[in-house]
A = this chain, B = another copy of it.
């Protein structure tokens, strides 16, 4: 056992307080939890001005510290964004109650009647970075699902986060609940993350939201089970049977709508027999957006023929998450070859087939292993908001549940409830 620092003791005390506070939230009925969410929405609208001021202090400090424009934009929480957050609270309040439902009910031959009852996981830890709206989104998911949260936000958003947490605490107090249901860790030091990851007694699951470095750190050090996302190396396979004109619209959407996010397209796989009409048209269509293609051989020639900017394939290009206006393109013989390519290079995030061939579609959807697989739809849909979850805690790309977008319902577990008539086991 390593010696406890005073900070480690403080973190442990906060996590323990969250553990002790959680049952008082879980005991509320769905209506009371929804009223709490709507009260948070009201306070976000009412306190627009002071919240935006706190955010300006973070933005000023960030600009002075030399943060780039992309990071400053992630940090920004202005009036319209606060209104958007308030709207998210209302959306979450309107969702079906994820708790208390009993399912898989069975009367067993031994005389016992059993069912699984949905319960909160307990205490959910989240480690995140610049965007302060995450603080409210995750608190909302937790309040909806009866979980307490231990939040460790980024240093850059400190003033905004403290203001948002003060607002959440006001709402909890007004509902007669302990503030520790939303426990905020005000400790920007890197070591605080390592210390949090040891608190398996008080935190049931840890969600790292951030770059690969943070996720790797958690994998190495965490005693707490993780819900982790990570790299999205995302593929679309275009079958020769597809409506190629409409396919182009989906590919464009997946690549250029928001190229810096994890569900954006990275590698396009094209059935060889469709390459001739598709690739020159694709090059023409995407060149205006500034997309650079990484390809070789016939694919490179056809893209160049359409006026595309083509670069030679480098080692590892098919394992890259481009996070920008670049993409790999590869010809494949058929759907089996596409499945094989994805098995070798995919990261289990989002994969799509564009096809009119029902057999090829079925093979693809069955065989491709990812958190979300699509037929004739953009990979950009892998998102809690798009999936109707209201808010998104993470996109989980592991194989264990929860898998894919994590909303309030994904923060639940079950307990078995058995009922008998003074029933002994035979």
Query: Which parts of A304-357 form the interface with B (CB within 8 Å)?
Result: 343, 354
Residues of B within 8 A of A376 (CB): 419-423
Chain copies in the assembled complex: 2
Q: Which candidate, A10-18, A66-74, A366-374, is the interface stretch facing chain B?
A: A366-374
Which B residues are in CB contact (< 8 Å) with A106?
388
Taking CB as reference atom, which chain B residue is nearest A246? B422
Q: Mark A276-319, 1 if CB is under 8 A from B, else 0.
A: 00000000000000000000000000000000000000000000
Indicate whether A173 reaches chain B with its CB closer than 8 angstroms: no
Q: Is A83 in contact with chain B by the CB < 8 A criterion?
A: no
Nearest CB of B to A231, in Å:
14
Q: A373-B416, A416-B373, A424-B250 are in contact. Are A381 and B219 (CB under 8 A)?
A: no
Q: Are A401 and B374 in contact (CB under 8 A)?
A: no
In the complex, the answer to whether A371 meets B422 with C-beta atoms within 8 Å is: no
- Could you say which residues of chain B place their CB within 8 Å of the CB of A365? 117, 417
Q: Given A387-B114, A415-B370, A422-B354, A400 and B205 touching (CB < 8 A)?
A: yes
A181 shortest CB reach to chain B, Å: 16
Majority SS of interface residues in chain A? mixed
Contacts A369-B415, A415-B369 given; does A204 touch B374 at CB 8 Å: no
A378 at interface, CB cutoff 8 A: yes
Contacts of A420 in B (CB 8 A): 374-378
Residues 398-413 of A, flagged 1 when their CB comes within 8 A of B and 0 if not, give 1111011100000001
Q: Which residues of B contact A366 (CB under 8 A)?
A: 27
Contact of A64 with B by CB under 8 A: no
Asked whether any CB of chain B lies closer than 8 Å to the CB of A249, the reply is yes
Say yes or no: is A226 at the interface (Cβ < 8 Å to chain B).
Answer: yes
For the complex, what is the distance from the CA of A204 to the CA of B121, rounded to whole Å? 21
One of B372, B414, B416, B424 near A249 (C-beta < 8 A): B424
Nearest residue (CB) in B for A109 is B388
Q: How far is the CA of A254 from the CA of B225 in the complex (A)?
A: 32
Q: Does A382 contact B (CB under 8 A)?
A: yes
A248 to B394, CA, bound (A): 49
Decide if B380 touches A425 in the complex (CB within 8 Å). yes
Which residues does chain B contribute within 8 Å of A369, judged by CB atoms? 23, 119, 122, 415
The answer for the CA separation of A226 and B223 in the assembled complex, in Å, is: 11
Residues of A within 8 A of B (CB): 23, 27, 106, 108-110, 112, 114, 117, 119, 121-122, 200, 204-205, 219-220, 223, 225-226, 243, 246-247, 249-250, 252-254, 257, 343, 354, 365-367, 369-378, 380-382, 386-388, 398-401, 403-405, 413-425
Known contacts A27-B366, A250-B423, A373-B415; 8 additional CB pairs below 8 A are: A122-B399, A225-B226, A249-B424, A253-B425, A257-B424, A375-B420, A376-B421, A403-B415
